[in-house]
Structure 1
């Protein structure tokens, strides 16, 4: 007789530790920390070494390339030995690698090689590994659990940026790299060590392996048209929404807002991201996920179109920024939910890792494309207008996914 399924409250009572550890691990991992911090470090590095902003931001492309290569590898590895073992090694290495940026001596080669190492170890801290345990521990409240785990990125945006800004102003950029690198070591690692748990079975030789869950193999998923539909949609969606984020201050400035006015707008992004994750996760548990994804991911099209108009006022700029952040808050969660519902949990991390490549490809290179467009035309109007149309069309493709699959236990 199969055991009775747990209620949503029972799932949270049993799995709150995994959510908390994942929240800290993701929020202090490579998915958030470089994105939210490099904009603050850039002016200091420009003054110290004479590098251009473009040369500095090329570091984001380096870690994107490493995510494309290492992310799926960590996902496949997690299926063999479990995500916990990978995370406990990766988190301290990730923190130490980030701290090593404090040793920069003015060589761009050193700068890029350091980011190469950061990307290599940091790819193990992406949601690919953490959401594996969350998905396996939750069913009735899967969407909300994923949303809570992903709020870490928004929390760093709200609290981490002011913390880093204070350190930079008081102690300089070298201390800033050390301070930010210490956060995962002192906060994420203890949480992962004590709270992050996965179901395992003991083999006769004494080794422990993760409990097998039903679902498709990686090969079966790659032969499924749904995988390729999701993959094809993710690239333009992540491109359209990823490009404005690191360029937000410049977009607001081009639209006519002063630096002081922009400071009242940009902090809304982190709050909106958290709100999007929680509200979106709650909706995913109650409404067909492709419809939720289409509606929420289409809303920023109006934000992008408005931001590209070149005539902004503070009130509408706040609304546009909040809407963009709200939609970005659900993107990771939506992909994780799609993988669990359409491909199962048998090879969840490996399949999610492959789809993450599509997300990383779009979001990782779009800031550079947006920046190049600005350098060429003097504004972001054309690229923002094009992105608004691409976003709606790509999000609408999710409506073709059909009913969820059922996987026998």
Structure 2
């Protein structure tokens, strides 16, 4: 849809569009990322101590959940393209707190622990940001970057707020009680947000019901998947997620090993989400103005510097600075992904394409925690893991620049400057 057509149809500024964006921000604040990915790392040591397990043993549930989420997200994309997002979002808001409560009742039994992870992982498929994010390109065109930034701002805020809340609770309560309280918070916020704000665009719903995909602007899925832009940008975002997931899971254990209290370590984990908020506050407008290449080239190397600081060690201030640098890139890749797909490929296969791309990116959530867990358990510390993450962060910056150059050179976006400058 052109900018003129978008304006004429009431998109990019109508009350329905902004209700979706703002309501999506609220829903994403308690979606799967903040509720589990950003919070579970604080529970690795308490669960390991309670169950008598290693940290790698406990991390397996995180990886299992991430594998299922990554594998199932492409299937979710097909569902969204056919049925829309509203029903999926409402179901996810109800099921997510229920499966989180399973962790409270599971005993120190590895098969049952993994079965709990299986259930959480199945719900993670629909409770991921995919359904909410798929709504935004329906309602926004020229302000898509801003809309995505607003929606994903909620995710960053949730990661900050929930991590802080978990840390405070863990400082005073046992881990099962703390987890129960936060699962109830997820339900109290997430269900009303889903019911009120999850709205598909009516004209697209009508086209989907008639299976008239050719009337929806954009490229078919096969052509989109053959694009070199897709296969250079998506791996860059995957590497950002790998670094972030590793840090969200193991930063608290790393710092408590160095003598920090659990509430102090939670503050450092929360710093990642807090700085992510600041990045998202400006990244949307910058993305619409300058494109994804320049933004990625500036921010992705910050994760390498942050990991390097953690590797070298230093004062408490230095450790907070490292967390902040890691947080600068965190979330920006999530904003870039739907922006690139919408600008490059349109709406015809957006749900499927985003599901596939997000699934690839989510594999980073699987590998990152394992990199750090294996580093600790097999090599006696986190040094090798941090070196690996530093290299991954550098490579992510290289790939995003290559993707932007290809997009600019081939005019694969609406305007070459949308890719890089």
Give the TM-score of the pair, scaled to structure 2: 0.86
CA RMSD of aligned residues (A): 3.0
Could you tell me how far 1:202 is from its partner in structure 2?
A: 9.4
Report if the CA contact (8 A) 2:134-2:351 is conserved. yes
Structure 2 match to 1:402: 407
- Residue 301 of structure 2 is matched in structure 1 by 298
CA contact (8 A) 1:22 1:149 kept: yes
Q: Deviations over 1:257-292 (max 9, x none)?
A: 644865664432221011122222221011021221
Distance 1:21 1:79, change over 3 A: same
SS state at 1:308 partner: helix
Distance 1:90 1:59, change over 3 A: same
Deviation at 1:4, TM superposition (A): 4.7
- Aligned partner of 1:66 in structure 2 is 68
CA distance in 2, matches of 1:388, 1:51: 28
Q: Over residues 49-69 of structure 1, what are the superposed CA-to-partner deviations in whole Å (9 max), with x where a residue is unaligned?
A: 333332222111111111122
Which deviates further from its counterpart, 7-16 or 141-150? Answer: 7-16
Q: Which residue of 2 aligns with 1:184?
A: 186
| Cα distance in 2, alignment partners of residues 264 and 250 from structure 1 | 13
Secondary structure of residue in 1 paired with 2:378: helix
Uncovered stretches (5+) of structure 2, i.e. residues with no partner: 416-421
Q: Secondary structure at the match of 1:401?
A: helix
Compare the two structures and name the one with the higher helix fraction: 2
> Could you say what secondary structure the match of 2:331 adopts?
helix
Distance 1:388 1:126, change over 3 A: same
Q: Within 2, Cα distance between the matches of 1:248 and 1:134? A: 32
- Residue of structure 1 equivalent to 2:7: 6
Assess, with a 3 A threshold, how the Cα gap between structure 1 residues 110 and 81 changes in structure 2: closer, same or farther. same
Name the SS for the 2:77 alignment partner. Answer: helix
- 1:107-132 deviation line (CA, Å, top 9, x unaligned): 22122112211111221121211111
Distance 2:157 2:32 in 1: 14
C-alpha separation in 1, matches of 2:198 and 2:77? 17
Match of residue 282, structure 1, among 263, 285, 301: 285
Label 1:341 to 1:134 Cα distance change in 2 as closer, same or farther (>3 A). Answer: same
Aligned to 2:80: 78
Q: After TM superposition, give the deviation of residue 398 of structure 1 in Å.
A: 2.3
The answer as to whether partners of 2:85 and 2:198 remain within 8 angstroms in 1 is: no
1:172-193 deviation digits (Å, cap 9, x = unpaired)? 4443333222233321121111
Q: Deviation per CA, 1:286-325, whole angstroms, max 9, x where unpaired?
A: 102122112111222222222212x312233222211111
TM alignment of 1:90-239, pairs within 5 A: 90-168=92-170, 172-201=174-203, 213-239=216-242
Q: 1:87 & 1:390 partners in 2: Cα distance?
A: 33
Instruction: Choose 129-138 or 106-115, whichever is displaced more.
Output: 106-115
Report the counterpart of residue 25 of structure 1 in structure 2.
27
1:209–1:14 CA distance, 2 compared to 1 (3 A): farther
Q: Is the 8 A contact 1:239 1:363 kept in 2?
A: yes
How far is the alpha carbon of 1:341 from its aligned partner? 1.3
Identify unmatched segments of 5+ residues in structure 1: none
- Retained in 1: the 8 A contact 2:83–2:205? no
Give the direction of change, closer, same or farther, for the CA distance of 1:210–1:249 in structure 2 (3 Å limit). farther
Cα offset for 1:333? Answer: 0.8
Question: Cα offset for 1:207?
Answer: 5.8
Query: The residue matched to 2:381 in structure 1 has which SS?
Result: coil
Match of 1:356 in 2: 358
User: TM-score if structure 1 supplies the norm length?
Assistant: 0.88
Aligned to 1:272: 275
Alpha carbons 1:198, 1:210 under 8 Å: kept: no
Q: Supply the distance in 1 between the matched residues of 2:35 and 2:205 (Cα, whole angstroms).
A: 38
